[in-house]
A and B are shown apart, each in its own frame.
Chain A
Amino acid sequence: MSEAVLSLEDVEAGYGRAAPVLRGLSVTVGAGQVVCLVGPNGAGKSTALKVASGLLAPRSGRVVLAGRDVAGLSPQRLLGLGLAHVPQGHSVFREMTVAENVRLGGYTVRDPARLAERVEAVKELFPVVAERWGSMAGLLSGGQQKQVEFARALMLEPKVVLLDEPSMGLDPRATRVVFDQIDLMRRTGVAVLLVEQNARRALETADVGCVLDLGRVHISGPARDLAADPRLGRLYLGGAAT
């Protein structure tokens, strides 16, 4: 496996005083690798991403980013260390232009020349973003909004990107574009930790698949093998795998 960029090691986490959602979760993502978390609702997939990005502090366990234990650090700190997180649903700033949204991805960049350079780079990566540059983000289609979110997340050239159900609510064409972009991230050496309800499609794209159940990894392995595993079909994919 390529060098580990992000590891969650034996993580326990939850909300408030409620019972833990993650109960000893361990998962590792390497550079240029896509690791996909699938599983039933409530398994802890989105919670795992929140812990990794600092939105939720773990109760125990380690979060290791590029060799450093970063458990409990704020999202602001983790952003600076090379971690970007695209949350579930539409997370564009709806009443701002696409330009404002993308530039906010470089909010922590103080050097205007560097900011301009990154803006041009992501506009090249995402032609739709460049085309709709002056439009109000909330007026874009769901697929276009997702492109804006990806562009915003890549503004700081992250080492690892966390994607929470990026295809949710998108039509098949927009979904295909989203997975093409994930593939592009992999080819540029970015580590991707992906959470998806569309498990079959996600496992087609991912290198490694992890099936979560009750807050820990239940089954894991090469994504294509996992997609063909009949246990997975019976348990989580709504029927026998093909």
Chain B
Amino acid sequence: MSLLLQGLALGVLTGGLYALLASGLSLYFGVMRVVMVAHPAFLFLAAYLAYTMHTAFAADPFLTLPVTVPVFFALGVAVQRLLLARLAPDNLAMMSVLLTFGIALTIEGLLGTVYTGSYKSISMDYATRSLTVGGVHLPYDKIIAFLVAAITLAALFAVLIRSRFGQALRATIQHREAARLVGIHTERVAGYGFGVGLATAAVGGTVLALITPFLPASHWAWIGKLMAIIVVGGLGSVAGAALAAVVLGVVEGLVLVTIDATWATMMFYVFLFLTLLVRPQGFFGGRLAHRF
């Protein structure tokens, strides 16, 4: 029983982090119907930047965020305006896969050149301890990851729901032509939406650097998982992806403690295939699919 509780607790914490990591992918698809294969590569670019700050200045990785978040936002706007917006709309999804695949390879190559192909990691004293509640051990690094993800997602949702930009972004996602006709500069908004998506990668990558060792090719292990989350959640729905992330995180945690790590990872793809078979619009899609 305690093993199950342990798996459940770890699953919730990890699922929260997955929600943050997948939120950017949902935004990209929502605003532009773009499949952004390079998102995990940007996550690890942020991880390496945090690593550099940590090794060069002994800085806490989170102290890099005031720099990396705006830089990644600007990068996102640039990628959307200079590259993705130029793709032909007829086969945007397929061309975006090819283009962002190329971006991912480029980032991986640059990281390999600068940092070599060996594993790097950041070890902070506070992240190596754990909290024990009712026999369940909760590692501080996972708690921190969960809290950072929760705060970031809360900020993201507040922006989407409360701000003028958020309303314009949601309108653009839900009906681009009608959005243009009420005076929204949809191209500009899509660029900023992309920027916000990549800004979440800056935060997510910094958290990843704290909880897992990484190398330039680490992003390949994440793209499948994150894609599975946004398909199960309902493509284009940030809220749906967040719910699916927590559910899949819990399932992964429970399978990890009861069966093994291989099956735990496999569960993402089991859910992906089941979703495509039973409810292709995603389990939290339909009504929620275009909410954000």
Known contacts: A93-B174, A96-B171. The answer to whether A107 contacts B183 by CB under 8 A is yes
> Once the chains are docked, how many angstroms separate the CA of A142 from the CA of B32?
27
Cβ–Cβ < 8 Å partners of B181 in chain A: 53, 55, 75, 79, 84-87, 91
A100 at the interface (CB under 8 A from B): yes
Known contacts: A76-B183, A79-B182. The answer to whether A93 contacts B170 by CB under 8 A is yes
When C-beta atoms are compared, the residue in chain B nearest to A94 turns out to be B174
Residues from 80 to 108 in A contacting B, C-beta threshold 8 Å: 80, 84-87, 91-96, 100, 104-105, 107-108
> Once the chains are docked, how many angstroms separate the CA of A68 from the CA of B93?
40
B211 at the interface (CB under 8 A from A): no
Residue-wise, chain A 108-144 has the 8 Å CB interface mask toward B (1 for contact) of 1000000000000000000000000000001000000
When C-beta atoms are compared, the residue in chain B nearest to A155 turns out to be B182
Known contacts: A95-B290, A95-B291. The answer to whether A108 contacts B183 by CB under 8 A is yes
* Nearest CB of B to A151, in Å: 12
* A91 in contact with B175 (CB, 8 Å): yes
* A96 in contact with B174 (CB, 8 Å): yes
Cβ–Cβ < 8 Å partners of A79 in chain B: 181-183
* Nearest CB of B to A186, in Å: 21
* Nearest CB of A to B173, in Å: 9
A216 at the interface (CB under 8 A from B): no
When C-beta atoms are compared, the residue in chain B nearest to A87 turns out to be B177
Residues from 199 to 224 in B contacting A, C-beta threshold 8 Å: none
* A107 in contact with B177 (CB, 8 Å): no
Closest 4 CB pairs of A and B: A91-B178, A108-B183, A95-B291, A93-B174
* B287 in contact with A95 (CB, 8 Å): yes
B180 at the interface (CB under 8 A from A): yes
* Nearest CB of A to B110, in Å: 37
Cβ–Cβ < 8 Å partners of B183 in chain A: 75-76, 79-80, 107-108
Instruction: Say which residue of B167, B177, B182, B290 sits within 8 Å of A94 (CB atoms).
Output: B290
Beyond the given A76-B180, A79-B181, A95-B170, please list 13 additional residue pairs across the A-B interface where CB-CB is below 8 A: A55-B180, A75-B180, A79-B182, A84-B181, A87-B178, A91-B181, A92-B178, A93-B175, A93-B178, A96-B170, A96-B174, A104-B184, A108-B183
> Once the chains are docked, how many angstroms separate the CA of A138 from the CA of B288?
11
* A95 in contact with B174 (CB, 8 Å): yes
Subset of 9 A-B contacts with CB under 8 Å: A55-B177, A76-B185, A79-B183, A87-B178, A93-B171, A94-B175, A96-B170, A96-B171, A107-B167
Cβ–Cβ < 8 Å partners of A159 in chain B: none
Known contacts: A75-B183, A76-B185, A107-B183. The answer to whether A91 contacts B177 by CB under 8 A is yes
Cβ–Cβ < 8 Å partners of A105 in chain B: 182
Size of interface on B: residues with Cβ below 8 Å to A = 19
Query: Interface on B for A, CB 8 Å cutoff?
Result: 167-168, 170-171, 174-175, 177-185, 287-288, 290-291
* Nearest CB of B to A145, in Å: 11
Cβ–Cβ < 8 Å partners of B168 in chain A: 107
> Once the chains are docked, how many angstroms separate the CA of A105 from the CA of B168?
11
Best-surrounded residue of B177, B178, B185, B288 (most CB of chain A within 10 A): B178
When C-beta atoms are compared, the residue in chain B nearest to A79 turns out to be B183
* B184 in contact with A107 (CB, 8 Å): yes
A23 at the interface (CB under 8 A from B): no
When C-beta atoms are compared, the residue in chain A nearest to B237 turns out to be A95
> Once the chains are docked, how many angstroms separate the CA of A138 from the CA of B170?
14
A152 at the interface (CB under 8 A from B): yes
Instruction: Say which residue of A55, A74, A104 sits within 8 Å of B182 (CB atoms).
Output: A104
* Nearest CB of B to A78, in Å: 9
Best-surrounded residue of B168, B179, B183 (most CB of chain A within 10 A): B183
When C-beta atoms are compared, the residue in chain A nearest to B184 turns out to be A107
> Once the chains are docked, how many angstroms separate the CA of A74 from the CA of B185?
9
Cβ–Cβ < 8 Å partners of A84 in chain B: 181
* A92 in contact with B175 (CB, 8 Å): yes
> Once the chains are docked, how many angstroms separate the CA of A87 from the CA of B291?
21
Cβ–Cβ < 8 Å partners of B175 in chain A: 91-94
* A152 in contact with B291 (CB, 8 Å): no
When C-beta atoms are compared, the residue in chain B nearest to A91 turns out to be B178
Cβ–Cβ < 8 Å partners of A92 in chain B: 175, 178
> Once the chains are docked, how many angstroms separate the CA of A10 from the CA of B178?
27
* Nearest CB of A to B91, in Å: 14
Cβ–Cβ < 8 Å partners of A80 in chain B: 183
> Once the chains are docked, how many angstroms separate the CA of A105 from the CA of B181?
9
* B182 in contact with A152 (CB, 8 Å): yes
* Nearest CB of A to B205, in Å: 30
Cβ–Cβ < 8 Å partners of B288 in chain A: 95
When C-beta atoms are compared, the residue in chain B nearest to A50 turns out to be B177
> Once the chains are docked, how many angstroms separate the CA of A74 from the CA of B290?
26
> Once the chains are docked, how many angstroms separate the CA of A37 from the CA of B93?
36
* Nearest CB of B to A81, in Å: 11
